[in-house]
Structure 1
Amino acid sequence: MISGIFEMPITDESYPFSSAERYCHLSAKDYVEREYRVDGTANVYRTADEDGGVEVMTADVPYSNRIVVRAPKDPAQASGNVVVEIINPTSFMEIERMWILGHGEFVRSGDIYVGITSKPNTIAKLKEFNPDRYAFMSWANPTPERPFDFDPEQLVRDGALPDMDISYETGLFWDMLTDLAWLLRGDSDLNPIRDYPRQAICLTGWSQSGAYLFRYLNSFAYREEVRRDGRVFDGYLSGGGIHSMCIPVNQYECCREYAHHLLRVEHVEEPFIALQTESENGRFESWRTLMPDSDDPDFKYRLYEVTGASHDTQWSYVDYYQDDEDLKRIDHLPVYVGKHAEANAYPSQYLFHAAFRNLFRWVRTGAAPATCPRIELDASGENVKDALGNTKGGLRTCLLEHPFARYSNTSLVEPGQGTVDKTSDKDGLFGHMESFSASMLKELYGSLENYRALCERDTAIEVSQGFICAEDAQAIVDFAMASARERGLN
């Protein structure tokens, strides 16, 4: 239960971590960014059965957490759409990847964004960033005397669970999320968006946070005490979800083996759109956990596999942060460490713009979005390549139909620098590109003007199918044109 929400003052010296006002200039777009301290109590749960059912292990544990809210300055300009993001904690800092990929659509449509800290492993970096601002944050373990069935320190040393800390309890999050959702729906004085229209509230998460979303749907969203005779969220959108990871309900279950079916969602009564990049579609068990698109009342589902994109890209992981001096100061500025000349720079944000728009349309009108082909896989679950070296099938744009480069979902790195396997010389999450030569582009497309015509024709088809927003069509064509021109097509 949430007992208090307190707006945190923003000054030139004290502002939210990775502030979108600083990166996106929100005030110039008539948006405001606010940050809040959230105090309350939450239950810690344990898994009760193989179907993902849970029961209370420890009740009413106190916590202090944070949320960040971005909304139109004038409530009358709000769309009535609310996006709640489970902020990604994997790199030990708060990465608002779904904001990064979706804010172009949120801001132009008047959507409200609410990001919630989802795991206490990021608190240390928040306090390093600003010890006074974030001194209040606490997810203390209510049962520190309880023994583990494994050696937590050994898991940290081995790198299996590098972010584990037995002084806190990750399992507090589930009630934090539920209670926040119901607060945002109501008219309590505590609700930070109570003056705004709120017709549709949807949950989103990226990568590990996408796996959090899967677990929430499988174990919490349809419990009677969670639903309260209604729906907690009106829709769901996961991005880059990791299907080899079943999020434990509490930290004491970190080494527990869960039923395989909990790696995916098999029941969802609200619209659910999943976007996967080439980094995850065949790896991390994704090819073993595929589900068909469906309009069934008990499984409203679309899967879009974004051909060309890797899990991290130059724009979504590096360029967005604009070489931020604050992130340098805490030694956490995202960089590309691959050995290749070009990092993967696929502009997947435009496909996320359309996916969020489709989700809210589906929620509010019942009109389900179009389906699209899946990426072609071989018998080992690896992506099948075309004659130019790009992946076949999937959700495509003109950048794949008329490529100027070969897109890879991996990069060669120095051992120890990989995201997943520190012993490998390959990073499986941040890919690279290999540009075509000017002579090859000339042979493929003849001239820059012909290339423009091809890209415009293909993009118009994508717009008509709802995979690209009409407002983004010119930007995609311009991106393709500039890229081809830089590589020598004239």
Structure 2
Amino acid sequence: MKHHTLRTRAVAAALTGVLLTGVVTGAGAAGVTAGDIAGHWAQESIQYVLDQGWMGLDQAGDFLPDETITREEFAHLLNQALGLEDESILYFSDTGDAQYYDDIAKAVRAGYMVGKSDASFAPGEALSRAEAATILARLLPVQEGEAVSFTDFDQVGDWAKSSVLTASQSGYITGNPDGTFAPQRTLTRAEAVQMVVALTSGETIQKGHLNITADNQVIRDTIVAGNVYVDPAVTSLTMENCVVLGNVYVDGSATLNFNGRARVVEAKGQAKVTLGSDTVIEYLYLWGSDNTVDAGTAQIHSVVAYGSTDITGAPTLDLLRANADGVTCSVQPGEITIGEMTKQMPVIAGKAYVASTSPTVSPDKDKIISTAKTLPTMTELPYDEGVTYHQDVYDKSHPFSSMYCSVGSVNLEENQYIEKEFLMSGKANVYNLYDNDTPYIVSADNPYATRILVRYPDVDSGKEFSGRVYVDILNASSGIDLEDVWRRSYQHFMDSGDVYIGITSQSGTAEALKRFDSERYADINWSVDGELEDGLFFDMLSQLGNLLRDDPHAILPENINPEYIYVTGQSWSGDYLNTYSSVFYDYYNQDRSLFDGYVSIVSPAETFIASGVAGPRDVYTETKEPYFVIMSQGEHYFGSYGDWYLDFEYVRIPDASEDDYKFRFYEVAGAGHSDPVSPILPNNAEIALANNGTGRDPKVYNGDEKPSDLQLDMIITASLENVHNWAANGVPAPSGEDYWLEYRTVVDPFVKDMPETVEDEHHNALGGIRMPQIEVPVAQYKPFRNDSSTTDGSMIYFDSDTLKALYPQGYEQYKAAFDAAAKKVYDEGFVIESDYEKLIASDANRDLFE
């Protein structure tokens, strides 16, 4: 999983060329006068801009009015004038060291500036008059004046002609005395100032966000330099000839009449939307049911319907995402996608949509089934005699990620547990997918060998076996095998007497094992025709499951007989689990349930079906066995980081408790994607051996940030119990549908459809499953560390004044409320009894009140 760090750029200390210094971004800078504007034709406008603090002077105290303005300077000037607030990130190839990085990001997110065709932005490039016209046109409500006829209009590129006409109608950008427009001539700083001053004087501009709380409001001819928030109590709103540089959020059921431009219009309840003929919308999200959209002749990039929706009119619609049944559209969109839970195809222009003509059953069905049922060969990999706990490089042969080399020296013998390792070998196919996710074989019967790590109760010493086996897809995100589910719940596994089995899941981590111990792992093989191939894994998993059903004593003692087998995966491993079940569920479950339940942790996506080959369209599938999905708050943000998730859409699926479909979707407020530290991680010396000499870097926390005490571990442990109770005893697990995080949809440049968590006054998330740490907080909980894409969360303790305001009676008041919140999540079934007792026994925050 790739991540890019989110950074902001401060104004450079050393400036060159005509970049500005001394920029004032707060209150005005009245009294500052440039030494070179006296008598200039734009003197009044320049002085106004200086007084407002929108631009500054160079080191000599000059403004340089006749110098050209750069693209990033123009972004800065417009942002200051408009009052844009929301920050964003950039993926341009040349903005990393831009002086006005934040201003470029704001301008691009607002949609009035774009990059170049070569994925650059050219921040220091001079701005042409044609480019300035296109920027201005994106900001302006519809103009009613007549466009000026320029004698050189034929020299305006097709990409800019409509913008030049729009800008000239406004009168904010004018031609030359000779009747020309001179589209390629660069814009001077004086011209830019004159344009922006005219814009702010001639248009109604709402700086920052606009909150609508009164019913039946009518807003006309306004540029909103932020978001529009419509209160749930509002039943009707009209916005006529408006440009919204952010998003329009309708939080309840309402009638919205909108004519103008907006990036996103999102309605949470039942919506009745009427769009004017001049409307341009990037994304229209409809979360409720029974929505109606009279789209007229509007231009819409995407309509995303999560409930039944009727779209009428003759709009230009690029993409329709039918994520629910009962979606109809009067026109043919450029592209249609069908959501995961959509069972009824949308009706397009009066006809039911046909999603695909590809086969719904694989032509290789029999071969897929026979391969899955073929039992692998298991060869035990022995430990050298005398292997014991160690914290450095160790010359005795033992498994990578053995409990004998964990940083916390968790003692297996004291817990009456035994650890063994096996080489699993067999033959597997490599697959590709039709456009409807039906698999077919591209390479059959490829020999493979991977490793299996097994831990089980020592029943000969009196430890009881629970009857449960948990197969964990070892996580490959770090380039080495990570036992993420064991790491979360190892003590619960051992207390309960469960069997834990980890399976190496990727060719890269298989190669890391060889680096760790080339002799021990010499026979590992993930190659097809001499190339490493990750697509072998899916048959490996099926074959391991069938082995545990039909010949478990190939790896387990004779007195351990599995009754229930569950499969788990976290992060990238969960993506493998999602992909495996979505593609192959109907093939490996022909005459019995191969697995009794599934637990997918912090895994909001699918992964490749083969090396370099895209995976399925659907992330999750309907299973008759319980399928749990557990998300941290951090998953809401992953789409903002890195190109791996550029096409990522965070999919929420409602709970289901039917005989043939059992599903739970949990979101945990305040939690990060992974925990900051664990006592069963391999020691750093052994990680370095496996990972090309690179060990685990120490975690650094900036400023007041601390390692978070709010982790997913307790929720995951309870989910392991709940999935078993449902599978074995028919007791449905607690529903998570009423505990989803509150979020709004945002659209960043290049990254689409990202949920943005709504926060309280302490910057803690609203909604979600709420552990007592965030329900009764003494800190702000952040899903990332240092405002970057690090996957572990952090916390910042409140100051004493905030604590006193929240808990005026001191620690005893706080602790009583904390214990009550712990009792609530325990009563709801999200925490098991032993973890509840740990919570109420904790006295960790007493010192904050002293």
Shift of 1:429: 2.2
Where 2:760 maps in the other structure, the secondary structure is: coil
1:61-80 correspondence to structure 2 within 5 Å: 61-74=446-459, 77-80=464-467
Q: Aligned to 2:659, which of 297, 305, 318?
A: 297
Give me the whole-angstrom Cα distance separating, in 2, the residues matched to 1:193 and 1:46: 38
d(CA) in 1 for partners of 2:450 and 2:402? 17
Q: 1:384 aligns with which of 758, 777, 781?
A: 758
For the residues of structure 2 that align with 1:286 and 1:351, how far apart are their CA atoms? Answer: 25
Structure 2 residue aligned with 1:397, among 747, 764, 771?
771
From 405, 408, 427, give the equivalent of 1:41: 427
Task: Please say if 1:133 is aligned against 2:503.
Answer: no
Instruction: Find the aligned partners of 2:840 and 2:477 in 1 and give their Cα distance.
Output: 33
CA gap of 1:178–1:269, structure 2 versus 1, over 3 A, is same
Distance (whole Å) between structure 2 residues aligned to residue 405 and residue 28 of structure 1: 37
Q: Separation in 1 of the partners of 2:840 and 2:521? A: 43
Partner in structure 1 of residue 311 of structure 2:
none
1:230 corresponding residue in structure 2: 592
Which of the residues 429, 435, 444 maps onto 2:791? 429
8 Å CA contact 1:93, 1:332 repeated in 2: no
Gaps of 5+ in 1: 145-166, 414-425
TM-score by length of 2: 0.50
Contact 2:375 2:546 in 1 (8 A): no
Q: Map 1:135-214; keep pairs closer than 5 Å.
A: 135-142=522-529, 144=530, 167-187=531-551, 189-192=553-556, 195-214=559-578
Give the 5 Å matches for 1:80-91.
Answer: 80-91=467-478
Q: Is the 8 A contact 1:82 1:111 kept in 2?
A: yes
Secondary structure, counterpart of 1:427 in structure 2: coil
Q: By how many angstroms is 1:188 displaced?
A: 5.9
Partner of 1:155: none
Could you say which residue in structure 2 is the equivalent of 1:321?
681
- 1:23-57 CA distance string (max 9 Å, x none): 3212110111111111111112221x223211222
Check the 8 A contact 2:376/2:544 in 1, yes or no.
no
**Which is worse superposed, 230-239 or 130-139?**
130-139
Superposed displacement of residue 259, structure 1: 6.0
Report if aligned partners of 1:398, 1:455 keep a CA contact under 8 Å in 2.
Answer: yes
- Which whole-Å CA distance do the structure 2 matches of 1:291 and 1:402 have between them? 28
The 2-side partners of 1:462 and 1:269 are apart by 27
The answer (yes or no) to whether the contact 1:87–1:94 under 8 Å persists in 2 is yes
Using the alignment, how far apart are the partners of 1:401 and 1:287 within structure 2?
28
Which blocks of at least 5 consecutive residues in structure 2 are unaligned?
Answer: 1-373, 388-395, 640-646, 747-754
SS of the residue 1:133 aligns to: coil
Q: Structure 2 vs 1, CA of residues 188 and 267 (structure 1 numbering), >3 Å: closer, same or farther?
A: closer
After TM superposition, give the deviation of residue 68 of structure 1 in Å.
0.5
Structure 2 residue aligned with 1:489: 849
> Amino acid of the residue matched to residue 299 of structure 1?
Y
CA shift at 1:119, angstroms?
0.2
Query: In the TM superposition, what is the alpha-carbon distance from 1:65 to its structure 2 partner?
Result: 0.7
Change in 2 beyond 3 A, CA 1:196/1:212: same
Q: Secondary structure at the match of 2:626?
A: strand
Which residues of 2 match residues 251-400 of structure 1 at below 5 A? 251-253=611-613, 256=614, 260=617, 262=618, 264-281=619-636, 283-284=638-639, 288-316=650-678, 320-321=680-681, 324-328=684-688, 330-333=693-696, 335-340=698-703, 341-372=705-736, 373-380=739-746, 381-400=755-774
Partner of 1:247: 607
What whole-Å deviation, never above 9, does each CA across 1:320-360 have from its counterpart, x for those lacking one?
A: 43754322554232532453542334232111111100011
Instruction: Give TM-score scaled by structure 1 length.
Output: 0.84
Q: What is the alpha-carbon distance in structure 2 between the residues aligned to residue 188 and residue 405 of structure 1? A: 48
User: Are the equivalent residues in 2 in contact too, given 1:276–1:304 (CA < 8 A)?
Assistant: yes
1:68–1:323 CA distance, 2 compared to 1 (3 A): closer
Distance of aligned partners of 1:127 and 1:141 in 2 relative to their CA distance in 1, 3 Å threshold = same
How far apart, CA to CA, are the structure 2 residues paired with 1:268 and 1:315? 34
Q: Give the drift of 1:139.
A: 0.8
| 8 A contact 1:39–1:65 mirrored in 2 | yes
Q: Distance in 1 between matches of 2:541 and 2:558?
A: 17
Describe how 1:421-460 pairs up with structure 2 within 5 A.
Answer: 426-445=788-807, 446-460=809-823
Q: Taking every aligned residue pair, what percent have the same amino acid on both sides?
A: 29
Does 2:379 correspond to 1:9? Answer: no
Secondary structure of 1:361's counterpart equals helix
More helix by share: 1
Structure-1 separation of matches of 2:804 and 2:398: 50
1:21 positional shift: 4.2
The one-letter code of the counterpart of 2:567 is L
Q: Which amino acid aligns with 2:400?
A: F
* Residue type of the alignment partner of 2:608: P
Check 1:57–1:322 CA distance in 2 against 1; reply closer, same or farther (3 A cut): closer
- Aligned residue for 2:430, secondary structure, equals strand
CA–CA separation in structure 1 for the residues paired with 2:682 and 2:818: 29
Relative to structure 2, which stretch is displaced further, 63-72 or 436-445? 436-445
Larger Rg, first or second structure (1 or 2): 2
CA distance in 1, matches of 2:552, 2:761: 59
Question: Secondary structure of the equivalent of 1:6?
Answer: strand
Query: One-letter code of the match for 1:4?
Result: T
- Give the CA RMSD over aligned residues: 2.2
- In 2 relative to 1, CA 456–428 (structure 1 residues): closer, same or farther, beyond 3 Å? same
Cα distance in 1 between the residues matched to 2:670 and 2:652: 19
* Gap change, CA 1:101 and 1:46, over 3 Å in 2: same
1:155-210: CA deviations, max 9, x gaps?
Answer: xxxxxxxxxxxx21111111110000010112365243553131110111011111
Q: Distance in 2 between matches of 1:71 and 1:304?
A: 29
What's the CA shift for 1:232?
1.4
CA pair 448-474 structure 1, distance change in 2 beyond 3 A: farther
